[in-house]
Amino acid sequence: MAPTLGFFPVVTLVVLSGFPAAVSSRRDVLELGDADFDYLATEHETMLVKFYAPWCGHCKKLAPEFEKAASRLKGSVQLAKVDCTTNSETCSRFGVSGYPTLRIFRYGKDSAPYDGPRTAEGIYETMRRQTGPDSMHLKTKDDLKAFVNNHDASIVGTRSRVFSGTDSPRLAEFLKAATLLREQFRFAHSTNLQLAEECVLLFRPPRLANAFEDSIVIFRDYLTIGSLRRFIRDHIYGLCPHMTIENRDRLRVRDLLTAYYALDYHHNIPGSNYWRNRVMKVASKYVGRGLTFSIANKKDFLLELEEDFGMGTSDGGELPFITIRTRLGHKYTMREEFTRDGASLQRFLEDYFAGRLKRYIKSEPIPEKNSGAVKVVVAESFDQVVNDPDKNVLIQFFSPLCPHCKKLEPVYGELAETLRSDPKIVIAKMNALANDVPLGYDVQGFPTIYFAPVGRKDEPVRYQVRHLSAYPRPEARWTSATVLDEKRRFLKVQK
């Protein structure tokens, strides 16, 4: 069970609404510590707490987004923060093991991890769903009409043969599901509105109505939390959903084709749906082939398109720019111009399913000379060097802008010189900003080091400095005081 705060359970929430000045937004984030956490936390119905460390790069990146969200959520959800370097007791009590960690606290319930997006808008939308009841109680058809007329899809339980009153076991099961899934989806229920024989309906957003699929999907299975969760998962997005910064991670659990263009559902719904309908017309021919489809605003993803697909600002022009990103991380781009009849998109898909497309890989050129003790690896040479079946390879992923990487450089070079005479060991490095990082290597900060041993290339091991508690700041881990000890340990591991 998640830790509780006496009678006050812990849950982390956030809501946004207007972005005042930075000083004001910082005041909207409540600062808590060991001495006053229990006392101040109980004053709020819903609270989102950020557990952080001042030196943490990801924490610094999150801070302005968190402050903007706090300003918009002011009056409905309280945002707070705890500095774990000076308040270790509170952070330990809630199981904080990495930074930043976000948890939701709601009065009378256990605390829960916050797993939503970490942009100001994403925090706002996620936390806004945490306010009020888990499922909205609808009493009239006007209530229903207002609820489903929303930017997001809606799941509604209505009166039926098996869902007929407040004491219905199916209603209880529906409400349990709403409690578990409210962070991701919108729920409502009624015990006096009968819209169909079945008890649960999924209403897709009105702005996404189209001729290729139903706007309302009926749940026909036996109602359990598991069956309802599967139903929502399989139908919530439809044939071609609108991908945003907030929902992209949920959409990308599958192989996904995305059409990027000047999409704007706030000011130009017909224009946004013009290109979507053309994508859907082609997509409808490939249902069941293992590829899902989506559309997105090109401006929202411009930096990602530039970094991940090498796209220039003029690529595609006014026409959609098409990419495929598989769940394994493979990337493809449609270089032919998008035609209004969909023929170019269909040719692209036929080539994709036939295996004729060449993957897009972001890579620096393979170095002509690579005779140093530390071997330089790029994305195009990764398989050749790191996945060499006869070599044990230690690979460092670095950023040329990272001061910790620069501090590590002489240490890493010294290690490479020591092991240079062993033909079975390779010490290597790769610029993770200029090259695609292969699947299986989780690089969230720099430097990140992995060991790819002989016989286990598909199971690389993240290399960690021993006794990290002895080096409280990351930059302190890579000093001359630790080099020999770490070097001896690595050498010992190889024997």
Quick: pLDDT tens for 325-336: 998 889 999 999
Task: Please enumerate in sequence order all residues whose Cβ is within 8 A of that of 108, keeping only pairs 6 or more positions apart, or say none.
Answer: 7, 8, 9
Q: What is the DSSP letter of 197?
A: S
> Among 164-178, 259-273, 413-427, whose mean pLDDT is lowest?
164-178
Q: What angle do CA 156, 158, 161 make, to 5 degrees?
A: 145
pTM, two decimals, is: 0.68
d(CA 260, CA 416): 45
3-state secondary structure of 83: strand
Assign 258 to helix, strand or coil.
strand
Contact criterion met (CB below 8 Å) for 200 and 157: yes
Distance CA 443, CA 439 (A): 10
N- to C-terminal Cα separation, the chain = 43
Q: Are 345 and 335 in contact (CB under 8 A)?
A: no
Which active-site residues does the annotation give?
Answer: 56, 59, 402, 405
Question: Using 50, 70 and 90 to split pLDDT, how confident is the model at 472?
Answer: very low
Residue with tokens 């781009």: 333
Q: How far apart are CA 60 and CA 442, in angstroms?
A: 20
**Least confident residue range of 2-16, 137-151, 298-312, 394-408:** 2-16
| CB of 132 closer than 8 Å to CB of 33 | no
- In percent, the amount of the chain with pLDDT more than 70 equals 84
In the predicted model, what is the mean pLDDT of residues 283-290? 94
Assess contact for 175 and 136: CB atoms under 8 A.
no
Model confidence pLDDT, tens digit, residues 189-247: 987 776 656 689 999 999 999 999 999 999 988 888 999 999 999 999 999 999 998 88
Q: What is the overall mean pLDDT for the chain?
A: 84
Pick the closest to residue 129 from 205, 171, 180, 176 (CA basis).
Answer: 180
Predicted confidence band at 147 (pLDDT cuts at 50, 70, 90)? Answer: very high
Q: Which of 15-19, 96-100, 307-311 has the lowest mean pLDDT?
A: 15-19
| 3-class secondary structure, 162 | coil
The pLDDT value recorded for residue 315 is: 63
At 467, which amino acid appears? H
Under 8 Å between Cβ of 431 and 375: no
**Residue pLDDT, tens place only, 41-80:** 778 888 999 999 998 888 999 999 999 999 999 988 999 9
Q: Which H/E stretch holds residue 249?
A: helix 248-251
For residue 427, how far is the Cα from the chain centroid? 32
In the predicted structure, residue 492 carries a pLDDT above the cut 80: no
Q: What is the dihedral of CA 484, 490, 493, 495, to 10 degrees?
A: -80
Is residue 116 over pLDDT 70?
yes
Residue type, 407: K
How would residue 13 be classed by pLDDT, with cut points 50, 70 and 90? very low
Q: How many residues does the chain have?
A: 495
**What tens digit of pLDDT does each residue of 242-267 get?**
999 888 888 999 999 999 999 999 89
Q: Strands, DSSP E only, in 176-291? A: 186-189, 200-203, 216-219, 256-261
